[in-house]
Amino acid sequence: MIKSVLLVFAMEAEAQPLIQALGLKEDVPAKIVGPAPCVTFSGEHEGLAVHVVWNGKCKDHGVDNVGTVPASLSTYLAVLAFKPDVVISAGTCGGFKAQGAAIGDVFLGTAVINHDRRIPLPAFDKYGLGHAALLATPHLQAALGLKSGVVSSGNSLDYTDKCMEIMTSHGAALKEMEAAAIAWACALYKVPLMCVKAVTDIVDGDRPTAEEFLENLHSAAAALQTTLPKVLAYLAGKELAAL
């Protein structure tokens, strides 16, 4: 039975709307101590214990700690601290119009891959791709009317032709920078993972990614603020097999 959920966010702008909507409070004293930069918040929603970890700011550059390394660190430490029943990789992403994505859509992930971790050696090639299935949630998807698809992770906002080839060949619907790393950390503790992502830009579109991302970040975060409480309410008290 699901009693506790941890949500992992890379950016403060993605996390704050949900933190405010649910009235979550920063954990004092801190559940995760320095030098780890991540910050955690906790509260309750519909009888469910809700914890949020945000990757925090880079002390040298003053920007959010995005990418796979901060994501895996935050997830590892937060799972250790809170021992959640389910982890949700939440945030924004690029979407593929070829897979039905439009700006503002909220997706549930079905699996994760890495599109820029290419290691052409026996067995390392599959390790590099890191394909992993996510928690199956067909009833949740139907109840909330959400789209679904494969989530592809990399450490660059842009992509190479080879990245696109890998994403396309694996039917990626979403492109972002954290989910596959979060999946790796969750697998260490055998904690089921969901991905709930809102689309800021169209990967296979004709506008520059950075331009669309900045233009639509706050509206996508608002879409998450609307959807995530519904997801949490649906999860509360459910068995994993009922999702």
* Catalytic residue ranges: 14, 201
Rounded CA gap, 100 and 172, in Å? 11
Q: How deeply is 35 buried, as exposed, middle or buried, from its count of CB atoms within 10 A (0-12, 13-18, 19+)?
A: exposed
Q: How far is CA 131 from CA 33, 88, 166, in A?
A: 32, 17, 12
Sequence-distant (≥ 6) Cβ neighbours of residue 223 within 8 angstroms: 104, 105, 106, 198
Q: What is the dihedral of CA 213, 215, 218, 219, to 10 degrees?
A: -100
Instruction: Report the Cα 231 to chain-centroid distance in Å.
Output: 14
SS3 labels along 47-91: CEEEEEEECCECCCCCCECCCHHHHHHHHHHHHHHHCCCEEEEEE
